[in-house]
Amino acid sequence: MDEEKVPVVFVSYCWTNETHKEWVLNLANRLMNKSGVEVILDRWHGVVGHDRFKFMEDSIKQADKVLVICDEMYCRKANNRAGGVGTETLIITPEVYQNTKQEKFIPIAINKDSNGNFLLPTYISSRFALGMTDPNNFERDYSELERLIWEEPQLRPPVRGPKPDFQNQIVTAEPQEKNPTLKTDNTHEERVVWLLPRGFLLFENITFNRSESWVTRAHYYNYDGECQLGIHFHESYSDAWDKNPEIQFRKLRIPKADWEWCDLPLYYLEWFRLVDAPIDIKHKVSQLQLDYPVYYYAPWEDIPLPKVPEEYSFYYETGDLRDLIEDIRSLAKNEHKVEDYHERAISIRHSAYLFSLKFLGQDNPSLSFIKEIIDKYDSSFGKILMQDWLKRLDTILTSTLNHERETWQAEFKRSKDESPAR
């Protein structure tokens, strides 16, 4: 009989503090001693003087499983592409996005966020994760980890039965689930929903009111229905509101790359408050001649949770890249110490490749041109060369997005022209 293959496991984690390092070391020891697993751990196998990047790359390729130990510090460094965790993220992410065997990477959540969800880095947040957040349940969680590594599921599918006798079955229609609705406080008021590329604005308290204290309100939601933040407008705010509307965009936490869609919505929120008599808001909304959707909802009317409209699909999918371009431009045009440029360059290089790969795909020829600019970075650059490199990276990312947008627009127009009139 052939000897069973022993799984090789690489542990990716952050040296957050001595307590966390000891927790990871104890886990690795137990996997080796008690679970029969071959573990690659930097504290055992990393050799002083050797190339750390190559050690990580070789270890991840060699491993059958990669344990991604996600505490709060690991998530922060992974998202910012900082330090050794950022390096490992750069190596791991292309494998994740190129559909590597799904079960190779095992995210292990050590912390939860404020909503009680497992805290995971963005690039792996869509994966099922193993929670090891409660020390009281460690033995149960460890047993599940053993099974994941050895690929021995706790539950197996039952034996398949015979095909049903469809001829003699009576079919009854099952009630359909209702579409999710947006939960709002003022259901007795008129409301307007104004869609943006990665979220939407909900206007409330817009029905005419003679009270001096009357304010109109706007809340910004993402397309999962999670409220980001809100603002309110009173006539006494007009001067400050008109002079610098970007302050309101920041207050609402609207991503900067989406600000170009925001002037008109906030103008209308202001206009609703400055009227001196009741107006027909429904008619006003219906008269808007826009290339993107705005919806009116009468009092007590349910608001279906909006989905990303086709008109915004490109801007929704390129949100990370567009945000990155804004960061690059801001960094390039402002004066910083040269070491600050280099510190930010680590995150920018990683993000530029990761977001481009995610949107374009491995086979898109533009990816090679972007990588060529990314690789021209040199840690010896002075301030002028750093600014020049940032501008070149901005140029290649912007031109790539412009090309992709033109292609998308042509396809979008074609599909609109071919779709039957409704």
Q: Give the tens place of pLDDT for each residue, 297-310.
A: 998 889 999 999 99
Q: Considering only residues 80 and 22, tell me which one the structure prediction assigns the higher pLDDT.
A: 22
Instruction: Give the span between the Cα atoms of 128 and 131, in whole angstroms.
Output: 10
Give the dihedral sign, CA 351/23/63/42: positive
Which are the contacts of 244, defined by CB distance < 8 A and separation ≥ 6? none
Position 47 pLDDT exceeds 80: no
Per-residue tokens: 124: 């792996």
Confidence category of residue 419, pLDDT binned at 50, 70, 90: low
Instruction: Give the span between the Cα atoms of 89 and 66, in whole angstroms.
Output: 12
Q: Where are the beta strands (DSSP E) in 253-399?
A: 294-297, 303-304
Look up residue 365 and give its amino acid: P
Say which DSSP state 40 is in. E
Q: Where are the beta strands (DSSP E) in 78-222?
A: 105-109, 130-131, 181-182, 191-196, 199-204, 216-222
Q: Which pLDDT does position 277 carry in this prediction?
A: 93
Question: pLDDT (tens digit, 9 = 90+) per residue, 256-277?
Answer: 999 999 999 999 999 999 999 9
Q: Which pLDDT does position 171 carry in this prediction?
A: 64
Position 62 pLDDT exceeds 80: yes
If you average pLDDT over every residue of the chain, what do you get?
85
pTM of the model: 0.59
Confidence category of residue 48, pLDDT binned at 50, 70, 90: low
Contact 129, 120 (CB under 8 A): yes
Confidence category of residue 1, pLDDT binned at 50, 70, 90: very low
What is the rounded end-to-end Cα distance, in angstroms, of the chain?
67
Give the dihedral sign, CA 75/78/84/90: positive
Cα 313 to chain center, whole Å? 15
Question: pLDDT (tens digit, 9 = 90+) per residue, 171-196?
Answer: 666 665 567 888 776 668 899 999 99
Contact 404, 362 (CB under 8 A): no
Q: Which pLDDT does position 422 carry in this prediction?
A: 42
The helix (H) or strand (E) run that includes residue 85 is: helix 83-97
3-class secondary-structure state, position 6: coil
* Most distant CA atoms of the chain, gap in Å: 89
Q: Considering only residues 184 and 16, tell me which one the structure prediction assigns the higher pLDDT.
A: 16
Secondary structure of 138-179 in HEC code, one letter for each residue: HHHHHHHHHHHHHCCCCCCCCCCCCCCCHHHCCCCCCCCCCC
Confidence category of residue 87, pLDDT binned at 50, 70, 90: low
Q: Which of 111, 108, 95 is nearest to 146 (CA)?
A: 108
Question: pLDDT (tens digit, 9 = 90+) per residue, 89-123?
Answer: 665 655 554 555 567 888 898 888 777 778 888 77
3-class secondary-structure state, position 264: helix
